Amino acid sequence: MKSKLKIFTDFAEGVLPHEAAFLLKENRIRDDEKEDILSRVCHNAEEFHASVDFDETVDKRKYAYIKKWITKKLEKADVDANLIYLSHIEKQVLTDTISSEEEKELLERIHEYDQTSFYFEKFYELVKEYQDYLLVRFRYKDCEVTQDFLKKNKQHYASAITVKNQLFLATKDLTRQYTTQALNTKHWEAQLLEYLYDDKLDGRNKYHAFIRLVFLYFNYKEYEKAKEVFDYMDGCFRNGLMYSRRVLFNYYGNRVILHSNLKDLEKAEYFAHLSVKQENSDKLFYLNNLIAILLKKEKNREALELLTDNYKLFKSSHNHHQKLGFATHYLRALVRNNRIQIAENFAVNFLYENKKHVFEHRWNRFFSNYLLALTIAEKPAEALKVIEKYDLLEKEAEASGREDYFPKIQFYYGLALYLNGNISEDKLFERLSGSLPAASQMTEEGVDALLAFLDRLSFALPNFFSALKSHFHKSLLVS
């Protein structure tokens, strides 16, 4: 039976946890039923896996009131909505088309705006343009308002510009470090922390300092330090500071990466579910992150359902990097749900349709899952054909030397040779044991990944892979 409150329920499902915390802080409602509606909205935003129903006996006008109240409160706090307003008024001033009502609102905002506002820098520049507009019209009384604001905030504006320039230099260093791994950027940490915790700094620079700190800490794998600045920003968002849905979704996406690296998959999944609530060009990226978490947690059926539900999004995307990520997850989920023939057919079609782009990014993960499907399907000859057709051994050799690297394609190739009757078991053992990396060159995480990989292959030759694991364990003891 269709709910009488479907429109409101759909609206309420879109409210995010940090929006809910801000709304409760702003709550001055004194009607018990309206308060109960708001309370349920905010509870469901925080606990979306254990939501409570809305009372359909309550007057629907009260639901309309709460919907309007929430929308108004969030719009007022939304920094991106403020940017749209500033851009519009700037255009009106520059084209001499600003109305008297728009001027009245602008003059009121000049009295309210301070240097901590998110777009303070842009507002300051708007006031300068507006003062020029007033001067040529001999409106000296209004000029006193603009002049007072500009004089009072002159030093704050100069500081904001200085910080902005420093953040640009930090960004250049951090991005270069990420791509080359050859640059030390630790000297930026203290300065970025100073910007982040400066209560007199404009919101945009504070937020950008946060993003650069996250970049820095992720580069150095200092995830506990990253968590500290995330927790600080969490408090800011819950108080309605630096808020917009765009900013929140970016924050949720970064928290997924943080908690994944901290091995806290529960929180990683929580934030991943939040991140996919947005509908924009980045949705496939956030969706891939969520699916990766589900697969790590062995929620294979749920992952496959999510992949199937978003298959049209995958097909229509022009982002080849994210398409390959989705395709890899889809293959993995199909294999884990024992849909081997579908996995094989999908891989063949995907390679045919994306042959120009498949080797641009992390191609080895896609082929590893494709070869696993062929191995399970007992098609070693087909596996050999795929490896040779796409020169996978040569491409894999080019990627060697990276941290925690081990040659998955070589393993599938050796196993396919044996299963196809081309080599003996002794020759296979010699081949695979010889290609195992030195344990001393691997991190603990890399060792775990290698052992998990050997476990995945053990279905084909249980005793053989048990012996191979023992061989590797001996090298661990030696190292």
Q: Residues 40-88: pLDDT tens digits? A: 999 999 998 888 999 999 999 999 999 999 999 999 999 999 999 999 9
Q: Which of 410, 411, 416 is closest to 397 using CA atoms?
A: 410
d(CA 449, CA 406): 9
Distance in angstroms (rounded) separating the CA atoms of residues 177 and 188: 12
Residue 290 structure tokens: 């969520």
Helix, strand, coil in percent for the chain, rounding step 5: 75, 0, 25
Amino acid at site 125: E
Cβ atoms of residues 210 and 189 within 8 Å: no
Q: Is the pLDDT of residue 18 over 80?
A: yes
Q: What is the mean pLDDT of residues 187-201?
A: 96
User: Residue 361: helix, strand or coil by DSSP?
Assistant: coil
> Quick one: pLDDT at residue 14?
93
Distance of CA 73 to the CA centre of its chain: 26
Higher-confidence position of 39 and 478: 39
pLDDT: which is higher, 236 or 437: 236
pLDDT in tens, 109-133: 999 898 999 999 999 999 999 999 9
Q: What is the spatial distance between Cα 71 and Cα 77, in angstroms, rounded to a whole number?
A: 10
Q: Percent of the chain, pLDDT > 70? A: 97
With a cut of 70, say whether residue 440 has pLDDT above it: no
Closest CA to 389 of 400, 397, 381: 381
Q: What is the pLDDT of residue 172?
A: 93
Residue-level pLDDT at 1: 37
Asked which of 300-304, 316-320, 384-388 is least confident by mean pLDDT, the reply is: 316-320
C-alpha span between 37 and 399 (Å, rounded): 56
Tell me how far apart the alpha carbons of residues 190 and 177 are, in angstroms, rounded to a whole number: 18
Overall residue count recorded for the chain in this entry: 479
State pLDDT tens for residues 334-344.
999 999 999 99
pTM for the full model?
A: 0.86
- Which residues are CB-contacts of 145 (< 8 A; sequence separation ≥ 6)? 107, 110, 111
- Residue whose tokens read 């978003």: 310
The pair phi, psi for residue 139, each rounded to 5°, is -95, 75
| Residue 2's pLDDT band (cuts 50, 70, 90) | low
Q: Share the mean pLDDT of the chain.
A: 92
The answer to whether the CB of 149 falls within 8 A of the CB of 108 is no
Q: Which residue has 């059926």 as its token pair?
A: 301
Q: What is the pLDDT of residue 279?
A: 84
pLDDT tens digit string along 352-390?
999 888 888 789 999 999 999 999 999 999 999 999 999
Q: Decide: 367 and 332 in contact? Cβ < 8 Å.
A: no
266 token code pair: 């529960």
Tell me the per-residue pLDDT of 379-433, one tens digit each, with 9 for 90 and over. 999 999 999 999 999 998 887 767 777 899 999 999 999 999 999 999 999 999 9
